Amino acid sequence: MADQVTTRLCVWIVKSHFGDIIANVVNVLASRGRLTFRQLVVFTKIRPRAIRATLLVLTQHSLLWHSSSTSASNNVLLGGKETDEGEEVFEFNVDECLLRLRFGKYLLIAKELFGDDGLLLVQTILDHGRLRFSDLESKIPELDRSTRQKLVRKMLQRRFLKSTSEYMNKSRTDRLAEMEHKVLTMESKNNSAASSSALASAKRLGEIRILAEERMKKLEEEAASLALARRVQ
């Protein structure tokens, strides 16, 4: 949940890029925090079909996090009732939205580092959001396959582009909470009842968080390495 100034800025950014309906949904998400689909319909007073389309657009552009209420760090309320366990909740990615203010700078750097072809490729990705390599053929037919392959490989190597997956649709807070839960579950199975009290100590919980962060970072690095090593098809 963002403060009022940040919320207004995000709404202005989204409105200029995507229009009024999506901006209205973002206004509710940014100001109220995590919400379910039902709650979005109630608070925005927008038709469910339009809400679904909006969520797809925001996800496509990495502006929305998804999680279930069981993995969310806090359940949200509607009419004094918590969300149903396992119900999907949505959260606006404020940081990603604010990065859209730098799109002009990204394009200047892309042209400087990768030339006009690189500028065209980056502009296409910024316009359309997440794209598979095969999608680029229809989006930028003026670049031949060999050129696209070389550009994408070079940009991945220099971390100018990054791969994504369904796992990355969850916020870092949720990913870390899930990893901590996995570590705790594994240790509770391996430890005897006599040593289980150590799990409740503040020191041990701090160690578990560090271990969870290390494992989560390793997963993300492996995903990035896989994208780089895999042949672009």
pLDDT value at residue 81:
45
Q: Crossing angle for the helix pair 145-157 and 103-128, nearest 10 degrees?
A: 130
Q: Which tokens go with 32?
A: 């109220």
Could you say which DSSP state residue 230 is in? S
pLDDT band at 16 (very low <50, low <70, confident <90, very high): very high
Lowest-pLDDT choice from 39-48, 74-83, 156-165, 166-175:
74-83
Q: What is the pTM of this model?
A: 0.74
The whole-number pLDDT of residue 86 equals 67
DSSP one-letter string for 165-227 = -GGGGS-HHHHHHHHHHHHHHHHHHHS-GGGGGGGGSHHHHHHHHHHHHHHHHHHHHHHHHHH
Whether the per-residue pLDDT at 200 is higher than 60: the answer is no
2 confidence band (pLDDT: 50, 70, 90): confident
Q: Per-residue pLDDT for 112 more than 60?
A: yes
Q: How far is CA 78 from the centre of its chain?
A: 25
Neighbours of 57 (CB within 10 A): 19
